Amino acid sequence: MRRGLAVKGHKAMLRRRAVVFLLIIVLMVGAEIFTALAQQPQPSKVIVSHGVVLEIAAPWDTIDSGVAECVVDAVRFAENNGYALILKVDSYGGYLDAAFSIGDTLYNARVPVIAYVENKGLSAATLIILPADVIAVKKGAVIGAMKPVMINPATGEVTFINESKVVEPIVSKARVYAERRGRNTTLVAEFVYKARTVTSSEAVRLGVADYEVQSLDELLDRVRGLDVERGGSVYRLNITSVEMFTCSLRSRFLSLLSNSYLSNILLSIGVLAAIFALAAGKLVALPLALTLIFLGLIGGGLNPNIVSLILIVLGATLLAVELFVVPGFGVLGVSGVVMIVLGFALLPMYIPAGAFPPEEYITILRAFIFGVAIVLGTFFGIVLLKTVQTLKQKPISFTPEGKTGVAVDEIKPGSIGFVKIEGEYWRATADTEIKPGEEVVIVRIREDGVLIVKKKE
C-alpha cells in the first residue's frame, strides 16, 4: 500500500515538474517575442505644416488626361517638398482612364492626401477622391453617380453602360480605393451599380466621407493633430499655411485637346484641308493640315509625347527648307514656326530627380524658346503679309512714254541717234529730222529698246 502511494506521489511530482518546465519555456519564448517587438523600429512621425491645393473646378473641371497629368505633377511637387496634397473638387466627372490614372497616383502617393468636395464630386470625380486619407464634403454638396455612360459627340445623347466587363472593373477599383481607409464599400458599389448619390451629411453618416464642413479652413482646423500613415511613415497633420498649385501649359493644352468636340473638329478640318491641298496641288498647305490632324488625334488617344516630337522635327525641317532651299520666306516657314511652337507646348515638363538639367532650367528654356518663336513668327508673319500685299498690287510701268528730253545727235528719218532723257542716254529714231539740242517727246519704246521720238511742239 505504501509502495503504491509512493509511486503515485512520484508521478505527481513528475507532472508538476513538467508543467513548471513548460511554463518556463513559454515565459522564455514570450520574453523573446516581446523583446523582438520592442526592438522593431517604430514608424517615424513627421509633422506636416504646409499644404498645396490643387483645384479641379470650372473651367478645368473635366477629369481628362490634362487634369491627370496636373495631378501627377502636384503629387510630385508635394512629395519633393514634404507637403500635404489638398484636392479641391467641384466637378461633374470626366473620362474613366484619366480617373483611374488619378486614383492610382493618389493611392500610391507618399504624402497625406486630403480631398475636399466643394459643391459636387460626381461620377469620375467621386472615384478620384476615394484613395484620399481624409474626405471632407462641404455642407450641401453631393457625391456619387459613378455609373459609366457613353456620350455621342454628334448628338449629345447619353447612354448608360451596363456591360459587366466595364462596370465590374470600376467597382473593383473603387473598392480597393475605399478599403484602404475602411470606407463603406457597399455604398461605393451602389454608386456604380445604381448611380446612387448622397448628400454631405449622408456621406459622413454612411461612412464614405470623414467630415462635413463649411469651408476649407474649417477642414484644416478639424484635421489638426490627425495622424496619417503613408509609405511606412506616420504624418501628423498640423497645416497652418497652404499654397495653390498651378497646372502647366502642357496639361491645360492637353485638356483642350481632350475635348471630343474640339478634337473631332480639328481632325475633320485637317483631313479636308489635306485632301484639298493634294487635289489642288497646293502642297505648301499640307504641313498645317497635318498639324491639325495630329492635334485632333491626341483627343483620340494618340500619345502627346510622340506628337510633340513629330511636330518639332517637321517644324525644324520646314524652317530649314524655307531658309536654305526656297528663296524668301512664305507659308513653309510660317508652318515650321507654328509646328515648333505647338511641339514645345506639348513637350513633357518632368525631368527625373537627379537628372541634368534641372526642371527649372527646362522651364526657363521653354519660355526662351516660346519667346524666340513668337518674335520670329511675328516678324516672318509681317514679312509674309507685306509680300502678299505687294503681289496683289497692280504693276507700275516705268517706261518713258510721254517724257521729254534733248536730242544729242542729229536724227534723220529711219536713222538712229542718241537722246538724253532725265540724265540717261537712250537710242532713238524719228519720222522727221531732228537737230541736236532740240527738245523731243517720247512716243513709245520698241521691243528692241529703241525710243520713237518726235519734236516737242
Candidates 421, 41, 82; CA nearest to 239 is 82
User: Whose grid coordinates read 473641371?
Assistant: 61
Helix (H, G, I), strand (E, B), or coil: what is residue 427? strand
Beta strands in 12-154 (DSSP E): 45-56, 62-63, 84-91, 93-94, 113-122, 134-138, 142-144, 149-151
Half-sphere exposure of 361 (CA within 13 A, CB side): 5
- As a whole number of angstroms, the distance between CA 279 and CA 105 comes to 48
Residue 243's DSSP bridge partners are 52
Query: Which class is 45-247 in CATH?
Result: alpha beta
Which pLDDT does position 443 carry in this prediction?
A: 83
Question: What's the pLDDT at 3?
Answer: 46
Tell me whether strands 149-151 and 134-138 are parallel, antiparallel or unpaired.
unpaired
So what's the pLDDT on residue 83?
94
Pairwise CA distance, residues 154 & 150, whole Å: 12
CA angle 407, 412, 414 (to 5 degrees): 115
DSSP strand E in 82-232: where? 84-91, 93-94, 113-122, 134-138, 142-144, 149-151, 158-160, 197-199, 211-213, 227-230
For the chain, the structural domain boundaries read 45-247, 251-392, 404-455
DSSP at 336 = H
* Each residue's pLDDT expressed in tens, for the chain with a length of 457 residues: 444 444 455 555 556 655 555 566 656 655 555 555 445 455 567 889 999 999 999 889 899 999 999 999 999 999 999 999 999 999 999 999 999 999 999 999 999 999 999 999 999 999 999 999 999 999 999 999 999 988 776 666 778 888 888 899 999 999 999 998 899 999 999 999 999 999 999 999 999 999 999 999 999 999 999 999 887 889 999 999 999 999 988 899 899 988 888 888 898 899 998 888 888 877 778 888 888 999 988 887 888 888 888 898 888 888 888 777 766 556 777 888 888 888 888 877 654 444 344 555 556 655 666 666 676 667 666 666 666 666 666 665 556 777 888 888 888 887 888 888 877 888 888 888 888 888 888 888 887 778 888 888 7
Taking the CB of residue 337, how many other CB atoms lie within 10 A of it? 24
List CB contacts of 339: < 8 A, sequence separation 6 or more: 287, 291, 311, 312, 314, 315, 318
CA atoms 141, 193, 167, 112: torsion sign: positive
Level-2 CATH architecture, domain 404-455: Beta Barrel (2.40)
| Residues listed for the chain | 457
Beta strands (DSSP E) in 259-408 are 404-407
Which residue's C-alpha cell is 448628400? 199
- In a 10 Å sphere around its CB, with 0-12 CB exposed, 13-18 middle and 19+ buried, how is residue 269 labelled? middle
CA distance 304 to 310: 10
**What are the contacts of 105-110 at 24+ separation with CB within 8 A?**
105/68, 105/71, 105/72, 105/75, 106/71, 106/75, 106/131, 106/132, 107/131, 107/176, 107/177, 107/180, 109/75, 109/78, 109/79, 109/85, 109/230, 110/79, 110/230, 110/231, 110/233
Contacts of 159 (CB under 8 A, 6+ apart): 149, 150, 151, 152
8 Å CB contact between 247 and 68 = no
Classify strands 233-244 and 45-56 as parallel, antiparallel or unpaired: parallel
Q: How far apart are CA 389 and CA 368, in angstroms?
A: 31
